[in-house]
Structure 1
Amino acid sequence: MREVEVVGVRVEMPTNQPLVLLRETDGGRYLPIWIGAVEASAIAYAQQGTATVRPLTHELMQHLVEALGDELDEVRIVDVRDGIFFALLVFSSGVEVEARPSDSIALALRAGARIVCTEDVLDEAGIQSTTDEDQEIEKFREFLDDVSPEDFG
């Protein structure tokens, strides 16, 4: 397993499809995962530390986990089949729950849990960084500085 970090979310043009971009913490590969608008907003809210008046779904999930006396230790992105990614939520109690990566990432950001990815998934769907891509990532970071969660929904 390789640890990854969330670079951010963006809307891919011209399809208007949101994606979350992950990056290996000790490597040069990026992992783009296309996600839904609601999940993109949830990830953006969590990254920006935006407070909400009432708990959103992923905040509710985190509150439930805590209320039940458990803790999210890790999110594992474990497979990709036909362009569809699969993840596991791994709790301190030892319980593992299958989940979509987008929901898993939104929850991990709220829980402060680490996100890891199998080498096989990175080999199949990862993109090796180049100088041009690094410049694109920097533009992406600048975009993230100006985007708000409402832009996704």
Structure 2
Amino acid sequence: MQVRVAGVALDASGQHVLLLKPIDQLPGDGMVLPIWVGQLEATSILVAVEQAPVPRPLAHDLMISIIDTLGAEITRVEVTRIDDGTFYAEITLTAGDRAVTVDARPSDAVALATRAGAGIWVAEAVMAEAGVPDVLTESDASESLDEFKKFLDDVEPEDFEA
């Protein structure tokens, strides 16, 4: 099923959670797929979703630049399976008549798809196994967006150094 980024939230322990939701479902309805991701990946996804300016390219911006320079494009990403609590994804790249699929972490796949405008998909079996009812309210979404905007105002390039 095709999904969209419904948001990135913090769980009770402060871990970042990517929320993927079927594109045909309204907020607060249906299911959402939570995938725990690292802070840098969460930031990269939010920067792309919000089209926020950054002073220098992030790693995913660099990857898109390389893909574009080689004449390829990301046509699709898919969260393909879950194994012992670990999610797996694939990125499909095309260049002319050639298509290749590469293994990726879901967070990287989603970060690239949001930049490339590629469709994001989740295997039905993954949503059935790991999806949870969507109970997000509009006030929750507004608070998350406000927190992200505050983060962008306060972030410095040095915060991204390893």
Q: Distance in 2 between matches of 1:148 and 1:122?
A: 26
Query: Would you identify which runs of 4 or more consecutive aligned residues in structure 1 move more than 4 Å?
Result: none
Q: Give 2:100's aligned residue.
A: 95
TM-score normalised to structure 1 length? 0.88
Query: 3-state DSSP class of the match of 1:148?
Result: helix
2:4 paired residue number:
5
Alignment deviations for residues 65-118 of structure 1 (CA, whole Å, 9 cap, x no partner):
000100000111000011110000001231111000001111110000110011
Where does the alignment leave 5 or more consecutive residues of structure 1 unmatched?
Answer: none
Change over 3 Å in CA distance of 1:48–1:70 after alignment to 2: same
**1:31 offset after TM fit, Å?**
0.3
Rounded Cα–Cα distance in structure 1 between residues aligned with 2:75 and 2:94: 6
What secondary structure, in the 3-state scheme, does the structure 1 residue paired with 2:33 have?
Answer: strand
SS of 2:52's equivalent?
coil
Q: Which runs of 5+ in 2 are unaligned?
A: none
Deviations 1:23-62 (A, max 9, x none): 0113522100000000010011111111122111000010
Please say if 1:122 is aligned against 2:121: no
Residue type at the aligned position of 1:65: I
Partner Cα distance (2:143, 2:35) in 1: 18
Instruction: Look up the equivalent residue of 2:60 and give its one-letter code.
Output: H
Residue 106 of structure 1 pairs with residue 111 of structure 2 = yes
1:22-41 alignment, distance < 5 Å: 22-27=20-25, 28-41=30-43
Tell which deviates more after alignment, 89-98 or 108-117.
Answer: 89-98
Structure 1 residues 78-93: aligned runs within 5 Å: 78-93=80-95
AA at the equivalent of 1:8: G
TM-aligned CA deviation for residue 137 of structure 1: 3.9
Q: How many residues align?
A: 146
Q: 1:55 aligns with which of 35, 54, 57?
A: 57
Which range moves more in the overlay, 141-150 or 96-105? 141-150
* Partner SS, residue 42 of structure 2: helix
**1:140 positional shift:** 3.0
Residue matched to 1:45: 47
Q: TM-score, normalised by structure 2?
A: 0.84
Distance 2:84 2:137 in 1: 26
